[in-house]
Amino acid sequence: SVFEYAPAPESRSVVDIAPSYGLFIDGEFVDAADGKVFKTVSPSTEEVLSEVAQAGEADVDRAVKAARKAFEKWSALPGSERAKYLFRIARIIQERSRELAVLETLDNGKPIKETRDADLPLVAAHFFYYAGWADKLDHAGYGANPKPLGVAGQVIPWNFPLLMLAWKIAPALATGNTVVLKPAETTPLSALFFADICRQAGLPKGVVNILPGYGDTGAALVAHPDVNKVAFTGSTAVGKEIAKTVAGTRKKLTLELGGKGANIVFDDAPIDQAVEGIVNGIFFNQGQVCCAGSRLLVQESIQDELLDSLKRRLSTLRLGDPLDKNTDIGAINSEEQLARITSLVERGEAEGGERWSPACELPESGYWFAPTLFTNVTQAHTIARDEIFGPVLSVLTFRTPDEAVAKANNSQYGLSAGIWTEKGSRILAVASKLRAGVIWSNTFNKFDPTSPFGGYKESGFGREGGRHGLEAYLDV
Ligand code: TXE
């Protein structure tokens, strides 16, 4: 299959990390105008990986100007020509996927098993998928000759650094827009490697610009008057700030924000399969996933059996060196995120939740959190309401399907849900009542570039992926 790629990466020596990186503007790596830099560390060891230029307002302006200039030619290319570049980028990603998987694991802390088998194949698949659309936009269902918007300002988080970049950049380029993207401050490296891949692919200068930096860099990008489209994935709080900035301008906006996904297990569910799905739902990427199944809703009659199996399974998970291909649970991305998780877990205990973790030794350096289960949780508890964004599962029970639906929908968020049952009719009935943008049945955290992804309620608006993902980048 075209989605297969290089053999398993095994050590950090497969990737050559430079001691310092510049901003990527107009096809060149350059210093920040004010010379500012910041360090990026490996969360599993706290080792400094590299020093990265930090973009300020002047750099944002320079990058947006480069993207504006590039837009004239890029948008005028026939779609079939843009497709060639995107296919080339997709193939280079496959060819360099060992490097990229190791790099992502080092900078983010997630297990190599995940970067190798999930992130990288999905990144390549996303570019292949949107490459395929570039010459078919007349057939996207939006009428003949839909127009690109112009310069897209894109701000992404640290939990899937390269995949979020792919979700943002691939549809933008396929539709003829140009891009200025700000990666998260804790994970700039794979985006800078991607910049190098753009050069390798011969992508015209200025079509993609990468500006590492903190929140103020993102804020300057979003506010820049010559940006036509803003795409953001991150916290609900920052999403609301961005919505305020964009209000009153003609910028088009999509927001992909937090979640508190319900994983609903009925009494007829295949228990072993459900246990795997629950584990994948909340411990994949240490739970730092917007669509994580962070609330387990289990039918009361099978609660004991399910929790026994789940605890046995959790006791087999291996936590440690993310570059070890047997590792299931890697490091938390940053000290700040670890502090956030810790404080919410303490709150969970203070409010009466019962905390359980398997016996598990945490490495001495780096940022770690053991897989954690909370029982004795009610809907009023903070840990049942707030996004924890960590390896922490809150268990609640229900008796009837209606009660399951009511509890699942009792959230400010509406991003994801899972339904576990053998009954097809029940899957359809329950799914139709859930207020969530993505619903899985008898599986969880499955992604595919052909499927639109996005939220209801405070999880944001707009869709990424699939044909719907084109809409965000076109005037139709
Ligand atoms: O997010 P931020 P943080 C949630 C999750 C997590 C919490 C905080 O619950 O615990 O958010 O994480 C940039 N204008 N999610 O603090 O700050 C920032 O530099 C423009 C869910 O890391 O939202 C980074 O590039 N940009 C989420 C990006 O926004 C700004 C993924 C995300 O950082 C900015 C991440 C500003 N004012 C966190 N301030 C998901 N939906 O998957 C910051 N940024």
Query: Concatenated DSSP letters for 262-299?
Result: EEEE-TTS-HHHHHHHHHHHHHGGGG--TT---EEEEE
In this structure, are strands 416-420 and 438-441 parallel, antiparallel, or unpaired?
parallel
Distance 15 CA to ligand 1 centre (A): 27
Distance 239 CA to ligand 1 centre (A): 8
Q: Which residues line ligand 1 (CB under 6 A)?
A: 155-157, 159, 182, 184-185, 214-215, 218-219, 222, 233-235, 238, 241-242, 256-258, 290, 337, 340, 387, 389
Compute the distance between CA of residue 110 and CA of residue 329 in angstroms, rounded to an integer. Answer: 7
Q: Which pLDDT does position 11 carry in this prediction?
A: 77
Ligand 1 atom closest to Cα of residue 290? 42
Q: Which pLDDT does position 476 carry in this prediction?
A: 84
Compute the distance between CA of residue 310 and CA of residue 275 in angstroms, rounded to an integer. Answer: 6
Distance 64 CA to ligand 1 centre (A): 22
**Paired residues of 319 in beta bridges:** 329
Compute the distance between CA of residue 415 and CA of residue 436 in angstroms, rounded to an integer. Answer: 5
Q: Where are the alpha helices (DSSP H) in 134-205?
A: 161-174, 189-200
User: Smallest Cα–Cα separation from 453: which of 179, 153, 129?
Assistant: 129
Compute the distance between CA of residue 436 and CA of residue 255 in angstroms, rounded to an integer. Answer: 15
Catalytic residue selected from 104, 114, 185, 256: 256
Q: Are 416 and 438 in contact (CB under 8 A)?
A: yes
Q: ipTM of this model?
A: 0.98
Distance 306 CA to ligand 1 centre (A): 34
Compute the distance between CA of residue 338 and CA of residue 331 in angstroms, rounded to an integer. Answer: 9
Mutation test of ligand 1: which of 224, 230, 238 has the most ligand atoms closer than 8 Å to its C-beta? 238
User: Smallest Cα–Cα separation from 186: which of 58, 46, 294, 284?
Assistant: 46
Q: Name 469's Cβ contacts closer than 8 Å, sequence gap at least 6.
A: 130, 167, 171, 452, 463
Atom 1, ligand 1: residue with shortest CA distance: 235
Q: Which pLDDT does position 1 carry in this prediction?
A: 35
Distance 34 CA to ligand 1 centre (A): 24
Mutation test of ligand 1: which of 221, 235, 236, 344 has the most ligand atoms closer than 8 Å to its C-beta? 235
* Secondary structure (3-state) at 50: strand
CA distances from 357 to 140, 161, 315, 361, 373 (A): 49, 28, 8, 11, 6
- Below-50 pLDDT ranges, the chain: 1-8
| Span 33-55, pLDDT tens digits | 999 999 999 999 999 999 999 99
User: Residue 360 catalytic?
Assistant: no
Question: What type of residue sits at position 137?
Answer: L
- Phi and psi at 114, nearest 5°, equal -80, -45
Compute the distance between CA of residue 64 and CA of residue 334 in angstroms, rounded to an integer. Answer: 30
Q: Name 297's Cβ contacts closer than 8 Å, sequence gap at least 6.
A: 262, 263, 264, 265, 396, 397, 398, 404, 407, 408
User: Residue 198 catalytic?
Assistant: no
- Phi and psi at 361, nearest 5°, equal -90, 130
Atom 26, ligand 1: residue with shortest CA distance: 218
Q: Which pLDDT does position 310 carry in this prediction?
A: 98
Catalytic residue selected from 290, 291, 387, 464: 290
Q: Are 42 and 321 in contact (CB under 8 A)?
A: no
Compute the distance between CA of residue 297 and CA of residue 378 in angstroms, rounded to an integer. Answer: 11
* Secondary structure (3-state) at 399: coil
Q: Are 442 and 428 in contact (CB under 8 A)?
A: no
Compute the distance between CA of residue 464 and CA of residue 472 in angstroms, rounded to an integer. Answer: 8
Q: Are 333 and 433 in contact (CB under 8 A)?
A: no
How many other β-carbons are positioned within 10 Å of the β-carbon of residue 336? Answer: 11
* Secondary structure (3-state) at 259: coil
Q: Which pLDDT does position 10 carry in this prediction?
A: 58
Largest pairwise CA distance in the chain: 63
Give the DSSP H or E segment for 5.
Answer: none
* Secondary structure (3-state) at 145: coil
Model pTM score: 0.97
Question: What type of residue sits at position 90?
Answer: A
